[in-house]
Chain A
Amino acid sequence: MSDWKFMVRQLVKNPLSLAGIIILFIFAFIAIFAPLIAPPPEGHLDNYMIPRDGYSATPKLPSEEHIFGTTEGQYDIFYGVIWGTRSAFHVGLLVIGIVLVVGIVLGSLAGYFGGVIDEIIMRITDVFLAFPALILAMAIVAALGPSLKSVMIALCVVSWPSYARLIRGDILQVREEDYIEASRGIGASNFRVVMRHALPNSIYPTLVMASLDIGAVVLAAAALSFLGLGAPEGYADWGQLTSFARNWIVGPSGDPFRYWFAVTIPGLFILFFVLAWNLLGDAFRDILDPRLARR
């Protein structure tokens, strides 16, 4: 227990990780209170579709009505980034959740039983790891049809192999310990041994690092949405919003930064979200590093 307290203390002391925690809290706040911060207009059907204020192709500058301006096609940017926070958490948590479950199951099987099962599972992970992730995701999304759901499926498919390997490694480290042998000796079923003894003693660091990969997942989803392979047009998704800005990065001559908000604002949201997770991740990595343990 004191280990956790020490960890939390270290996290708060470090200015970088403290910043990460604060940023995350802000984002969580935004996500939870999205309906209050950016209320959907009357009779709006799908809260995740951004309300449009006309159909003109030229983005409008920030004004009282549209705090962050509008995109090409008159989608309100403010609404988009606020509800986009919800999408981001949704995508990140869901993908990492699924990937962890699959990874734990397959990784434990491979690590605990070894032998043929291990070989098969390892070869399968090799196959998946033979692809650069984005490209495989692209292929899957192209096959399934562009949508946020396809993106999530694709990201799950692409990410589970690394976690299966990590967890397999964790189990391997612990497998030869005496208490595993002992619990088997008193007749515990394999399932019980793994669930109650092997896993709890080895996976916490991996779990922690996995949850901090939420940032990376959201980044990948944003990239796919930006490329047009993810959320449909007008959906409240940061990557999707950024793709609108492609044609407007250069304003009329004499005022080149005129449409800065279209590019910068959604991008900043992505940046800070991912940054927060990475700051935490970096700090955690330092804490979990046995060599840097208290001197």
Chain B
Amino acid sequence: MENIITIRDLTVRFYTYEGVVHAIDGLNLDIRQGETLGIVGETGSGKTMTALAILRLIPYPGRIESGSIAFFDRDLHSEIELLKLSEDKMRSIRGNKISMVFQEPGAALNPVYTIGDQISEVFLLHQRRELGKRAKEQVDRSLRDGDGFAAGMKRPFWRWQRRLYDKIAQESNLFEPRFLSHVPFFRRLLWRLKDESNLLTVDMLKDVEIPDAARVAIHYPHELSGGMKQRAVIAMALACSPELLIADEPTTSLDVTIQAQMLELFRRIKVEKGASVLFITHNLGVASEVCDRVAVMYAGSLCEVASVEELFLNPSHPYTKALLDAVPMPGKQLQTIPGQLADPLNPPTGCRFHPRCPSAKPVCQQEKAKLKEINKDHMVACHLF
């Protein structure tokens, strides 16, 4: 089975006022079809950047220096190199085949548009043909069933609409519908598209377990609680049934009780939609709940990646071990990892972790370790192996 995402040798650098920051350094990572891969790491480990790199949304002053990110497109039955794709094609993938959920739902939603509008936007953008088809069917029904004087008056408009929707259903980018959608008065002809997308939106909101979905859809983000907002954001991401869903710390800003509900939702999504999920978090407990495999990152490099059980039973990389040790447990003395986070402007030579590593060897300062398979499906990048 192919990987859905294959990252090889990815390097991302930020050119800031104070110097060059190595956000990601020679990353090699696979996301398998249908799995939920977790990326665990502290702030600055490069986990969010990895997600943004996949979608090619690295903000200025960052740049993807080198490497390759291959995406296996289910519809095309082939791999595409995302980093070489044109911006147009990339946009048709974003929100459609690969979508993302961000950490702060409050910040992720535009305060001046309703929830429903923002979700409908995704449908109108990526599923225009489907919407056109449904709208056409709607008009057909009106043409068939409508009678009486009012219907008679509207018929010519209905026929015009039908022609438009038919065109959209065939190829969403033809001239006439696109032109009319920009002209103020004639825009109204295309109202059924919005109507159909609203129906799909409400369905989507129901899917993410938002109660009274139709009413919520016409509300504004500030009128919803944190948990509801996050569900709405998830609905927005799942709207077009993406093949890969990237979730960047989706539960971090929520209450613990809501967190539990959210994780339950993610588990359900995994089962029902069959999408692959890249789940980013700094919380090992959360990772253990939802993920199939877990990757541990530090200072822009991958330390260890293994299945969830294997990682927790057999942590091999010193950093992984330290992370697990640091989890507070009643009765146990609080453990910390000595030293400071690697300075992003001036990272340590060789293995990034070596200054804080209890088992550091001289070679650790000189060169970075390569990923080696030490057990079935368990890779570690450490000179100890």
Binding site for B on A (CB under 8 A): 294-295
Residues of B within 8 A of A294 (CB): 17-18
A77 CB to nearest chain B CB (Å): 48
B335 within 8 A of A: no
Interface SS majority for chain A: loop
Residue count of chain B within 8 Å CB distance of chain A: 4
6 residue pairs A–B, Cβ–Cβ below 8 Å: A294-B17, A294-B18, A295-B16, A295-B17, A295-B18, A295-B61
Near A by CB (< 8 A), chain B positions 16-62 give 16-18, 61
Residues of A within 8 A of B18 (CB): 294-295
A133 to B367, CA, bound (A): 70
Interface SS majority for chain B: loop
A295 to B61, CA, bound (A): 10
Residues of A within 8 A of B16 (CB): 295
A295 to B62, CA, bound (A): 12
Residues of A within 8 A of B61 (CB): 295
A274 CB to nearest chain B CB (Å): 32
A20 CB to nearest chain B CB (Å): 23
Residues of A within 8 A of B17 (CB): 294-295
A295 to B16, CA, bound (A): 6
Residues of B within 8 A of A295 (CB): 16-18, 61
B19 CB to nearest chain A CB (Å): 11
Chain B positions 1 through 28: 1 when the CB is less than 8 Å from some CB of chain A, otherwise 0: 0000000000000001110000000000
A295 to B17, CA, bound (A): 6
A294 to B18, CA, bound (A): 8
A295 to B18, CA, bound (A): 7
B20 CB to nearest chain A CB (Å): 13
A263 to B232, CA, bound (A): 64
Near A by CB (< 8 A), chain B positions 52-85 give 61
B300 CB to nearest chain A CB (Å): 19
A294 to B17, CA, bound (A): 7
The residue on B at minimum CB distance from A294 is B17
A295 to B21, CA, bound (A): 11
Which 6 residue pairs of A and B lie closest in terms of their CB atoms, listed nearest first? Answer: A295-B17, A295-B16, A294-B17, A294-B18, A295-B18, A295-B61
A28 CB to nearest chain B CB (Å): 33
B307 CB to nearest chain A CB (Å): 40
A205 to B18, CA, bound (A): 25
A225 to B117, CA, bound (A): 55
B59 CB to nearest chain A CB (Å): 11
B326 CB to nearest chain A CB (Å): 31
Chain B positions 145 through 171: 1 when the CB is less than 8 Å from some CB of chain A, otherwise 0: 000000000000000000000000000
A294 to B16, CA, bound (A): 9
A295 to B20, CA, bound (A): 11
A164 to B61, CA, bound (A): 40
The residue on A at minimum CB distance from B17 is A295
A295 to B345, CA, bound (A): 12
A29 to B226, CA, bound (A): 61
A80 to B17, CA, bound (A): 48
A294 to B345, CA, bound (A): 15
B183 CB to nearest chain A CB (Å): 39
A295 to B60, CA, bound (A): 11
A206 CB to nearest chain B CB (Å): 27
A295 to B59, CA, bound (A): 13
The residue on A at minimum CB distance from B16 is A295
A272 to B254, CA, bound (A): 55
A150 CB to nearest chain B CB (Å): 47
A291 CB to nearest chain B CB (Å): 14
A234 to B216, CA, bound (A): 72
